Amino acid sequence: MDLKPIHIVDTLAVTPDKQMALLKLLKEEGIPVMEKAGLELVGCYSTAPSLGEEVLIQVTWKCADHATFNLMRKEFVTDLDWWAYSEKASKLWHGGTRRFFYPAPLEEVA
Amino acid sequence: MTMLRRYEIYSVDPNAPKDLLARMDESMRHAQRWIPEVLHSAIGMNKSPVGLHFVWEHGYEDSEAYKRYMVHPFHANVYDRYLLNDSPERLVTNNPYDVGLVGFNVEGPQYFLPSGYARRVVMARLKKGTEDAFRALTEKEKAANPKMVLSLLAENTFGTRWMDGVTKMLDDTTYSHIWEQGYKTLADAEAASTAWQKEAADMIEDGKMIELWYELETGHGYDNDAAAAMRSHGLEHA
């Protein structure tokens, strides 16, 4: 399986009342800081807040490969804005996942 | 050949799910199972009063091996998941100690201790020009304590060179030196004399010094790698 390009999928779980606060933080701080580091924003999606359950906000980033991501990681972890964003964001979400996705090898399916 | 010796030391979130913590421990302890470049991988739970809980110690054959580790998919997929501030699965917390990544260059795996032994680690910010005197103090301390089976003092070069272990990218780091000590048991490590600290007080800048001690929980390939690596460096087994 070819591990490139990389899609980094963050799924952030928040209570419905925090949905807009987290989206605002992402728009104003999280997305700019990651784009400054070189990551490409593929999309940002949210489940509906009116279902009587937690809201999941899914942010997908893309970069060429792991060598490229390593350089981008250096950029964001040395950026004070990333530290500030992370501090605020971690107070809003109560769970979630971060997973790296690669092109699924459908061509290898018999 | 000059190896890289590396530590990652963390404070753990007290609310972190136990099952995820166990997975993080496993992923670091047995790192070589997924990333062959990681040598002599062991974890330890700090028993000293310092507010740091988890130690991952290991080594690399050289800078090239370390660079392969840095871009290995397992690193970004698994370690970053538990460690990076913006990951919703982060299990560690911010702390004031600046020891998330420290380490040094060393000729061969002089740091090696057999499985089950205990490590005591001193991290200190030495005043400029005091390194020789501090080194002499560490040697005197080892000579006076037969239970200290290993003593290794080195400059913390990794703190400012974490991208490849070689290229300096930060001006400074909190602790300038690392003093690794080895003991057969955790009790011996814990009971080690601290009388040297009085003599060292004038060498340490602004009192910046911490100590940790823990029992080694060694991982996949630890002993085999150590014996082979030490032979290749012409060193005797500890």
- Which residue of chain B is at minimal alpha-carbon distance from A102? B73
pLDDT, average across residues B15-44: 97
Q: Alpha-carbon torsion A61, B158, B105, B83, what sign?
A: negative
Asked whether B12 and B82 are in contact (CB, 8 A), the reply is no
Residue B98 backbone dihedrals phi, psi, to 5 degrees: 60, 45
Confidence of residue B227 (pLDDT cuts 50, 70, 90): confident
Average pLDDT over all residues of chain B: 94
- Between the alpha carbon of residue A78 and those of residues A58, B30, B158, B227, the distances in Å are 24, 28, 15, 38
Residue B30 backbone dihedrals phi, psi, to 5 degrees: -100, 35
Per-residue pLDDT tens digits for A45-87: 999 999 999 999 999 999 999 999 999 999 999 999 999 999 9
pLDDT score recorded for residue B82: 98
Per-residue pLDDT tens digits for B30-65: 999 999 999 999 999 999 999 999 999 999 999 999
Rounded-to-integer distance, Cα B105 and Cα B5, Å: 6
Per-residue pLDDT tens digits for B168-214: 988 899 999 999 999 999 999 999 999 999 999 999 999 999 999 99
> In the numeric block, which tokens belong to residue A105?
């090898």
pLDDT score recorded for residue B223: 85
Distance of CA A73 to the CA centre of its chain: 13
Q: Does B73 touch chain A (CB under 8 A)?
A: yes
Average pLDDT over all residues of chain A: 97
- A 71-90 residues inside an 8 A Cβ radius of B: 73-74, 76-78, 82-83, 85-87, 89-90
Contacts A98 to B, Cβ<8 Å: 80-81, 84, 87-89
Confidence of residue B235 (pLDDT cuts 50, 70, 90): low
Peptide bond into A5 cis (omega under 30): yes
- pTM of structure: 0.95
Inter-chain contacts counted by CB atoms under 8 A, chains A and B: 58
Checking ipTM against 0.90, whether it exceeds it is: yes
pLDDT score recorded for residue A83: 98
- Which residue of chain B is at minimal alpha-carbon distance from A56? B88
Question: Testing the interface with B: which of A10, A35, A98 to mutate, by most B Cβ within 10 A?
Answer: A98
CB pair distance less than 8 Å for B85 and A90 = yes
The SS3 of residue A47 is coil
Contacts B75 to A, Cβ<8 Å: 66
Query: H helices within chain B, ranges in order?
Result: 18-29, 63-70, 73-74, 80-83, 131-144, 186-191, 196-200, 222-232
Of A11, A70, A99, the CB nearest to B71: A70
Confidence of residue A34 (pLDDT cuts 50, 70, 90): very high
Of A12, A73, A78, the CB nearest to B88: A12
Cβ-proximal residues to B79 (8 Å cutoff; 6+ apart), any chain: B27, B28
CB pair distance less than 8 Å for A74 and B163 = yes
Q: Is the model's pLDDT at B237 over the cut of 60? A: no
